[in-house]
Amino acid sequence: MQPLNGVRIIEFDGLGPVTFAGMMLADLGAEVVRLTRDASAGPAVFDEVGGAVLHRGRAFVPVDLKSANDRERILHLVDEADVVIEGFRPGVMERLGYGPEVLQARKPGLVFGRVTGWGQTGPLANAVGHDLNYIGLSGVLHAMGEADRPPSPPLNLVGDYGGGAMLLVVGVLAALVEARTTGQGRVVDAAMTDGAALLGGLFQALRGQGMWSERRGANLLDGGAPFYRCYACRDGGFVAVAALEPRFYAALLAGLEIAPAEAVQYDIAAWPALQARLAALFAGRDRNDWSAHFAETEACVTPVLSLAEAPEHPHNQARATFQDGLPRPAPLFDGKAVERGPKSALTLDQMVTKWSHRAG
């Protein structure tokens, strides 16, 4: 038995957060079907982006959302589903005839999850944008990067996946628990601006207490602290140093042969000089040499691995974090990963028959 065994989810195919959310829900054991764009509806702008991971574990069914014939069969699937997730701009699902009012009128207990950049309401709700735009509005992007450079894009992890997909998954699961009790579904409005702002809540709280500067690269967790940042090594590799607690900081100084009196941890005025000193030391040896040097200590110094290197690290191998070079489902349940099913192609008729059979 998998955690979401028996839960049936319809994913209206898209890019970014809805795809990641569909992957997560399938990884957790739900039976998810992706309704993809049929060739008769014209070519998609993007096709199979990251599909080896993002599309795993669920069937995909080509459909034409504007076709009356397909509509009837899609609604049959809705009747057998517990959750619908979609990532279109506000109003698109309503114009297609698949909005939450229509679908929940057929099935009141249906959870309808929606993820967008700006949210379903507000003056920007219908504006275009991408991850970088959404996190820019949240205040989080401004805090990232070096002091003398523009803010640095944190891949699309903060908006698309953290603030969007993961908040959608949390909302869907919460609404699903409630629906099992009350018989009434919810409409989940996951906005990447909201989610990114929430992820940045700690820093807003610290700013309100006067403990966080708006200046990048001048704070405890943004690279300003010499004991919490990355350093370049002789061979072009990098190490991550995260010696926040005094005990760990003492271990860092001991490993670098620096006397504690020469490097008082929270003497902020001395941080730039200490950072330069540590940079010179780390530049004198190769990355793996430093990794071995600090391996048995509490200095919190670890190598920064590339995407290619990460699957080969002994810790990741011991936990089987990667399978065939790709990340496996997470988290573990009772020490085991959820077994994901194969990605398969079905016709709409086959999917309707399959779910009708299960219902019987």
Which residues are the active-site residues?
Answer: 130, 160
Please enumerate, as own/partner, the contacts of 147-156 that have beta carbons within 8 Å and a separation of 24 or more.
147/215, 147/216, 147/217, 147/218, 147/224, 148/217, 151/216, 156/16, 156/130, 156/131, 156/132
**Distance between CA atoms of residues 345 and 334, nearest Å:** 31
Cβ atoms < 10 Å from Cβ of 181 = 7
Strands 326-327 and 59-63, sheet pairing? unpaired
How many helices and strands, by DSSP H and E, does the chain display?
Answer: 14, 12
Burial 103-137 (b: 16+ CB within 10 A, else e): bbeebebbbbbbbbbbbbeeebeeeebebebbbbb
